[in-house]
Amino acid sequence: MADAGGDAAFAELAARYDRLRPVDEGWWEVFDALVEAGRLGTAGRVLDIGCGTGRLVEVLARRGPRVWGVDPSEEMLAQARGCRPPGGGFKRAHAERLPFKDAWFDGAVMRQVVQHLELAAAFAEAGRVLRPGGRLAIATFHSHHFDTVWIARLVPRVAEIDRERFPSLERLTEALRAAGFAEPEARRIRQATRLTRAEALERLRGRFISTLHLLREDELAEAIARAERELPDTVESTLDWLILGAERA
Ligand SMILES: C[S@@+](CC[C@H](N)C(=O)[O-])C[C@H]1O[C@@H](n2cnc3c(N)ncnc32)[C@H](O)[C@@H]1O
């Protein structure tokens, strides 16, 4: 919907997604922050909007809530369908039009997805399917992320595209308010990461983020050639996360 290029990117990336973006210590730290921001641990029913390969759905469902995931990418959902969350499941849908009845969920989560959405429509839909007092938890990148993450430092065009694509805290707050959410609680998590040169090259060649699918072939080839020349044995970087939790009025 908001991001037509995203659909093609995730169709192509789906089979490699979990390998190139592994569940590591940093993933768990963000997961715990989302559970806290959305009070998801004590929720009865939770919706993961833009669930991708279903990893968060699977892990959260083991903690008690009934969890559903929606995603517009059939290829991402094909990966997700390997896991069968008890009492929940997966549906193909865009965030802007959710196939659930009003006030059905206690909690909802959007992890690394707001950059793809028409925010006004997606937050209005999240608000519609949440019960009054239900919470939406969001994990995205802080605007400063693109100054510190290795891929944006290596490929300036990625930084340029993502600075445009990722909504700021101010924009998110305004869109949440307009959709009937209370002032969100916001928290920032900075994670120092280290990749081997081989891991970084594998991610770049595998176009591990959808932004790399927006580059022209010659831009990508140039980025790979530059990485082969310049990347050190250990690639140090900082991920700068923004975590929001907002209550539906
Ligand atoms: C970076 S992935 C994140 C997947 C998962 N939430 C995670 O954290 O691993 C972004 C996901 O958003 C999905 N997406 C793109 N546009 C969307 C939309 N309009 N509504 C819901 N999901 C969307 C993509 O198909 C993709 O699975």
**Residue 50 CB–ligand 1 contact under 6 Å:** yes
- Position 94 scores a pLDDT of 98
pLDDT in tens, 107-124: 999 999 999 999 999 999
Q: Is the model's pLDDT at 153 over the cut of 70?
A: yes
Among protein residues, the one with the nearest Cα to ligand 1's atom 18 is 94
What are the residue ranges spanned by the domains of the chain?
Answer: 4-148+165-195+238-247
Q: State which fold the 4-148+165-195+238-247 domain adopts.
A: Rossmann fold (3.40.50)
How confident is the model over 218-235, as a mean pLDDT? 96
User: Could you tell me if residue 166 is left (phi over 0), alpha (psi between -120 and 50 degrees) or otherwise beta?
Assistant: beta
**Which structure tokens are listed for 169?**
């805290």
Interatomic CA distance for residues 165 and 182, integer angstroms: 24
3-state secondary structure 217-231: HHHHHHHHHHHHHHC
Interatomic CA distance for residues 153 and 137, integer angstroms: 29
Q: Of all atoms in ligand 1, which is nearest to the CA of residue 110?
A: 6
- Position 2 scores a pLDDT of 56
Among protein residues, the one with the nearest Cα to ligand 1's atom 10 is 113
Q: Is the model's pLDDT at 44 over the cut of 60?
A: yes
Q: Of all atoms in ligand 1, which is nearest to the CA of residue 95?
A: 20
Interatomic CA distance for residues 114 and 166, integer angstroms: 7
